[in-house]
Amino acid sequence: MPTASGPSTQEPPLPTARDLAQATEEHPRLPSGPGERFAGYGIMGLPFSSGHVLALRRFGGSSIGPGYTSVWHRSPAGDWTMFQDVAPELGCARYFGPALARTVVGPISVRWPEADRLEVQLEGPPTLAWTCTVSEPPALVAMNALARRMPERWWREDRVLRAMAGAAHWTLGAGRLGLTGRTPGGQHFIANPLVTFAVSDSRARLDQESLGAPGPLARQDRLGDFWIPQRGLLVIGRSTFEPLPTDRHRGRPRETQALDAPPSPS
């Protein structure tokens, strides 16, 4: 016997990491207020057992130029290189340049073949093939729920961001985090992790060399006050940097080259 069906009480599914990343590509929402502002997503930092570190920034929106992509690489010796598809002064090297061994400018490919997996590729030299699978463990489900309820003004408060970083340190086992402070270039920065996922698996090959399994560094590294997490975190978010006159910037990368150009002789 047929029965009347009432309105569905089933909650709509939450957006996946790919959904949120693609939304920032199509409709990037820059933070309000003054400063140099960016919106998008990225891997805050991912250390490997070999001592290598990779990070990704994919900003669909920028207040100082076109959206851009940047891949950060730290060698086991501690040298940092930033690959980006815009000039150094329009991307991450603008803020982190004094701490870098070099900046390399050229195309970078980022794609999402699955809802929870992204692929990053550099054609080189050097070549890079990097995949990350992400998940949302219970601790992050709770943290993301709290982040959605935060008043907008709190996202600009250093003390609130320091408290968030401290909570993430204890609940995620990611080591020390820096959501506010100063970059190597001297600019004050604020990072807003609106939604966070954990990297549950990752594989990377740099010039055919496997970087090994993800694993914390023996000693956590940082760039200025931005600490590199001791586990991989994918963040959908936004950043604001203090604008500084050219004469107050603390320098540029020691070397800048095009992606298809040979390195300068040492």
Indicate the domain borders of the chain.
31-245
pTM recorded for the entire structure: 0.88
| Per-residue model confidence (pLDDT) at position 252 | 54
Give the whole-angstrom CA distance, residue 204 versus residue 109: 14
Give the whole-angstrom CA distance, residue 165 versus residue 151: 17
- DSSP-based three-state secondary structure for 256: strand
| Per-residue model confidence (pLDDT) at position 248 | 55
| Per-residue model confidence (pLDDT) at position 232 | 96
| Average pLDDT of the chain, as a whole number | 89
The pair of three-digit structure tokens given for residue 28, joined into one six-digit string: 């990037």
| Per-residue model confidence (pLDDT) at position 249 | 52
| Per-residue model confidence (pLDDT) at position 14 | 79
| Per-residue model confidence (pLDDT) at position 167 | 83
For the chain, which ranges sit under pLDDT 70? 1-12, 245-266
CATH architecture of 31-245: Beta Barrel (2.40)
CB 121 within 8 A of CB 128: yes
| Per-residue model confidence (pLDDT) at position 7 | 53
| Per-residue model confidence (pLDDT) at position 34 | 87
